[in-house]
Amino acid sequence: MPRPPATVRRLTAADVPLLRALNALFGEAFAEPDTYGGAPPDDAYLAGLLAREHVVVLAALAGEAVVGGLVAYEFDKVERARREVYIYDLAVRADRRRRGIATALIEHLRAIAAGRGAWVIFVQADHGDDPAIALYEGLGTREEVLHFDIPVAGAPDGS
């Protein structure tokens, strides 16, 4: 029986080093190393995030190495007593793609979302990112939407 390409698990407050490795992977995968590594938060901040129920960070591990992962956030809705989960970041290391790791990450998130009473998981894909679009179309329903970033006066720009 072949070994699975990776083991997926939810990170906890004790997993700050794995989160740092995941952020480095995101920086490489999205070609934004400064965004994901230029001003890293301290360990206490990251441990605090990982301890929150509404913040879900999943890592795909091959042995001790992080080969993929996702970060998702849970939103409580006001129109109905239900929740939605938003996948904010999802990436798999380039040499590990097309092996079911992204699907395994999403399936693991589905189980967490079901346990938390969520009714849907949603995710954004950029035009031209055909592999991501194909993955998400295979798992759900496509909607055409526009995304806007609205600046906040006086907010730090993160640099």
For residues 157 and 13, the model is more confident at 13
**Is residue 154 included in any domain, yes or no?**
no
**Is residue 103 included in any domain, yes or no?**
yes
**Which phi and psi (to 5°) does residue 45 adopt?**
-60, -50
Token pair belonging to 32: 């934004």
Give percent of the chain above pLDDT 90: 61
Q: What is the mean pLDDT of residues 144-157?
A: 65
**What sign has the CA pseudo-torsion 7, 38, 151, 145?**
negative
Distance CA 31, CA 26 (A): 8
**Is residue 113 included in any domain, yes or no?**
yes
pLDDT of 97 reads 87
Write out pLDDT tens, residues 28-44: 999 999 999 999 999 99
**Is residue 156 included in any domain, yes or no?**
no
**Is residue 25 included in any domain, yes or no?**
yes
Domain that holds residue 81: 7-139
Q: How far is CA 13 from the centre of its chain?
A: 16
**Is residue 57 included in any domain, yes or no?**
yes
Distance CA 75, CA 118 (A): 9
For residues 112 and 144, the model is more confident at 112
**Is residue 155 included in any domain, yes or no?**
no
Distance CA 157, CA 159 (A): 6
Q: What is the mean pLDDT of residues 47-72?
A: 96
**Is residue 85 included in any domain, yes or no?**
yes
pTM of the full structure: 0.83
CATH number assigned to the domain comprising residue 34:
3.40.630.30
Count structural domains, the chain: 1
Question: Residue 76 — very low, low, confident or very high, per pLDDT cuts 50/70/90?
Answer: very high
Token pair belonging to 112: 């967490």
